[in-house]
Every structure is written in structure tokens, then in C-alpha cells.
A = this chain, B = another copy of it.
Amino acid sequence: MTAITGAHFIAGEESREGRNIFTGVNPRTGERSTVQFADATPDEIDRAITEAKAAFEIVKAYPVEKLALFLETVAGEILRLGDVLLRTADWETALGIPRLTGERERTCNQLKAFAGYIREGSHVDAIIDTGDPDIRRMLFPIGPVAVFGAGNFPFAFGVCGGDTASAWAAGCQVVVKGHPSHPQTSELFARAVYGAIEKCGFPKGWFSLLQGAGEEVGQNIVLHPLLEAVGFTGSLRGGRALFDMAESRPRPIPVYAEMGSINPMFITEGAIERRFESLAEELVNSITLGVGQFCTKPGVIFIPDTAPAKTFMKHVVAMMDRKPPGILLNGRIRKNLVHAVEQSLRIPEVKLLTGGKAVDGATAFENTVMVTDAATFLKHSELQQEHFGPVVLFVFCENADEMRKIAAHLPGQLTGSIYAEKSEYHHMGPLFHELIQRVGRVILNGVPTGVRVCHAMQHGGPYPATTAPLTTSVGMTAIRRFLRPVAFQNVPEELLPEPLKNENRKGIMRLVNGRHTRDSISAPPAE
């Protein structure tokens, strides 16, 4: 294993031109890494994206099997990094080896899942209408994509995370802007990617890693004329800034920003009565998972204004209290969390039940529970904003109808959960339908943390959960963000791309004259 150098990796070449220096920091000890990283310069950014564009011209001719093999090879190369990846990431994030081991598995499985998905071939969404004129359409890669890695998932939403995997699967080149909170981890991933590029014979411009802690780096990436799209996971402030920049370009490009959520959870009397102990445990585990640094963390829990619900809440408070505070990812997250909690507690009708303060010494924050009533929650928009960390707000509601009304006033959310007993479903119908309009994923009797990577997953939601509510950043359909339809009119068989030819050699699913079929077309196309 080569030592970590602190360079950018631009089409396989190390580069180090910038003067704004930053380093990784161990959030457990505050110790700074000896490896220095620098903000990518405009010239470095230009080289990375120009090389990506050049790689596009080569890779667009590759068969899909070659792309699939590349994705699988990256997964193998990540595992080949071995323990140094886990140890480095743990040093930079304090997320712990077990969690990181699991996240690594998810990251590799995700790459392999996309390989399987594109190998099957139906993802090009082939549609054919024979007749006069003969029209056939399928999806094509859009070109160079920039991915802004997230701080809270250094693997699964990092250099080789979901955005990157889905862009690669689409046939798009990726320029990653590594998260400044774990630059050494990012560099290790870059080495794994170039290992796969080498083994698979891809052009080196297919991937670049740019490091940076300053806002200008992101700006210069998003404003580059050859860039076609942006994937981002992070804060509302950061995502919106990139979105505004991208839309202000002479040629606007889409920004797929996932910007977090308060993930409202609605709990009925029946659920509290029947599941008391297990429910409290599920909740506390979900709230404190990854030290509350999940975009799907349940941030606000709506419970009935009844004596059993109050007892339940007290039980949750006691469990939160007993949990030792975890180490947050970095000082900035702690600072933002201190600010958000202070702001909420400044509202007289919001009461602190436990926690509420930063922990001295380490980069940590106490496990925190606050409580308020429905009217206060609706009146104060600051309560409707994400508190990124191990913090939850209980809100007392009169009845199911008040819960529905609250849901109707919520800004867009990644998820919405309902805990209810079967006998209560008929009461919960209106709330359930309200949530469909507000969230990307509706969960029944389960916590929102834990996003299964599968075909049906929708990890997205109306603004401000994302800037692109019609798309997802997790699951196989995430690939569609990087594919553009092109129609062919009266194009003869010999010029048509494989998936649109009469003979359906791979037997992919196509919509032919309005009918889904894997059959070949017997009639010759118009010419």
C-alpha cells in the first residue's frame, strides 16, 4: 500500500497546485493528520472535467458488459484495500469499525447490484413504434458528472458511493469532490478506482478525485462548461448553493441534491400500548444510530396527548439518558447542532427533557430529547428544520386529525413513518395519504434509518428534502438521473443501437407498439 500523499488524482495523475491547506482531524482526540491536503485550483478542476469529457468519447462505445465488469472490479479493489481503509476512516470519522465494516459491504454490494442491473439491459428503457415514421427511443449517458461526497457516510455516499455507482452504471464519467472531513479515506478509494481502471482498460479520465475544504472548489466544479450533472448529499445550505449556481449557468444543468429531513414519525395510542418496550428501543436505536448523523434519523415524533404516551416518552428519555454520548463527525456538525438546539430551546413552549449541550473535551453532543405541542411546532419553522445529531423532538397531538393537519403543513421529507395497530388503520388513512404527498418513502411500523438498496427504493422527496423530487439517490432507478432519451426516426437496422434493433438479442424488456415484450420484431423497420 502506497502512503497517503494528500494529492488530487486527476485522470490518474497526482496533482498538488493549491495553497489553501487542510488536514483530516481525529474527532475523538482533536489530533490533526500529518498529511496535508489542498483546495483544488481552477486549473486542476478544468483538467479533471476536460479529461472526463475525453473519456466519455471513448467509453460511450464500450459494451455494457465492460461497464458491469468495471463496477464489480471496483468492489473487489475496495475490499483489497483491507483494514487500512477501515482504520483510516475510523480515525477520520469516529464511526467505529463495526459500522464501517457494514458500510463497506453495502458499498460493494451496491456497485455489484448496479452491475447486475445494467447487465440485464432493460434499464435503457427501449420503446419502439413501428409504422410511418418508425420511431425508436432509448436512454443514453449524459456525460461528465460531479459527485459531492457526504460526510456522514464516508463509504456508501462517498467516493464510490451511490451517486458514483449509478453515474458509472449509466456510462458517465465521475469527478468526485471528496468531503473535507475524511480526505485520507477518499484518497484510498481513488487508489481502488484506478486499480479497477487499470485492470479493465478504461481511460484514466473516467475518474478523478478533487479535494477541497473551501466553497470555491464546489463553485468552480459546478460552473465548468463541460459538466452535465451534479450529485450531492449534505446540508440544505450546501445543496441549495450548488443548485442555485448550476441553474444560473449559461447552460443550466441538473443538481440532484439530497439535503436531509426531519423524518416525521406518527405513533398511535395502540402502538404505544402494544409495543411499549420494543418501540422505545427501536426509536432510541434509530435516533442514536451513527450518533444521529443519518439523513433518515427520526427527528420529530408525534404522539397522542395521553398519560400512557407521556409515560412512553419518559421511558425513551431514560433510555436516551443511559446511552453514552457518541463522537460526532467533526466540529462543524457539533457547532451547527449546538446552534439548532439553542434556537429550538429559545421557544418558551419547547421543553428540554434530557441532554441539550455539547460534551466537553471530545467532539460530542449529549443525547437530547425535547418536547412541545402541535400548535408550537406549526408556528415555528425552526422546529421543522433538521437537527443533525442525536436529538429528537416529541410533539403532543390531540388526535389523528391533528396529526393529519400537521402532515399537511410539513415541508418535503425523505421519509414519513406511522406506528399503528391493525385496528387503527382506518383512522390513519387520511394521514397516510397526506404523507404520500409530502415524502419519498412511507413506512409502517418501522424506523426510517436503514435504506435498503433495491429496485423499488425511493430515497428522495419534495424540496427541501431534495432539489429533484422526481428522482432517487438510492436504489436502481438512481441511474435514470444520468440518462437522457434519444429518439431515432426511420433509422435503418444497421445504424440502430443494439437495444433498438429488430432482433432483441439480449431479450430485454421493450415497449413495442404499446405492448411490453421481450420478443424480437418480425417486420422490417421503415427505411
Contact = CB atoms under 8 A, between A and B. Distances in A.
Contact of A442 (B442, B486, B516): B486
A216 to B, nearest CB: 22
B444 A470 contact: no
Contacts of A133: 443, 446, 450, 452
Interface in A439-486: 439-446, 450, 452, 454-458, 460, 462-464, 467, 469-470, 472, 477, 480-481, 483-486
A108 B429 CA distance: 37
A487 B440 contact: yes
A516 B441 contact: no
Contact of A467 (B135, B252, B483): B252
A509 interface: yes
Contacts of A464: 251
A489 interface: yes
B128 A488 contact: no
Nearest to A135: B456
B251 A463 contact: yes
Contacts of A518: 516
A432 interface: yes
Given A477-B485, A489-B443, A516 B122 contact: yes
Contact of A456 (B127, B455, B467, B494): B127
B140 A425 contact: no
Interface residues of A, number: 77
Contact of A486 (B136, B254, B458, B489): B458
A485 B527 CA distance: 38
Contacts of A511: 455-456
A54 interface: no
A105 interface: no
Nearest to A438: B486
Interface string A231-246: 0000000000001100
Contacts of A251: 411-412, 462-464
B489 A129 contact: no
Contact of A489 (B136, B411, B442, B485): B442
A143 interface: yes
B443 A490 contact: yes
B452 A491 contact: no
A371 B437 CA distance: 54
Contacts of A439: 486
Contact of A458 (B131, B457, B485): B485
A516 B516 contact: yes
Interface in A498-527: 509, 511, 513-514, 516, 518, 527
A137 interface: yes
B492 A441 contact: no
Contact of A243 (B252, B436, B477): B252
A247 interface: yes
A142 interface: yes
A495 interface: yes
Interface string A248-288: 10011010000000000000000000000000000000000
Nearest to A444: B491
A486 B455 contact: no
Q: Which interface residue of A143, A437, A516 has the most chain B CB atoms within 10 A?
A: A437
Contacts of A442: 486-489, 491
Contacts of A494: 425
Contacts of A127: 455-456, 477
Interface in A116-137: 116-117, 120, 122, 127-129, 131, 133, 135-137
A488 to B, nearest CB: 5
A489 to B, nearest CB: 4
CB-based closest 5 A-B pairs:
A458-B487, A129-B454, A127-B456, A247-B247, A443-B489
6 contacts: A122-B516, A137-B456, A442-B486, A443-B491, A445-B527, A456-B511
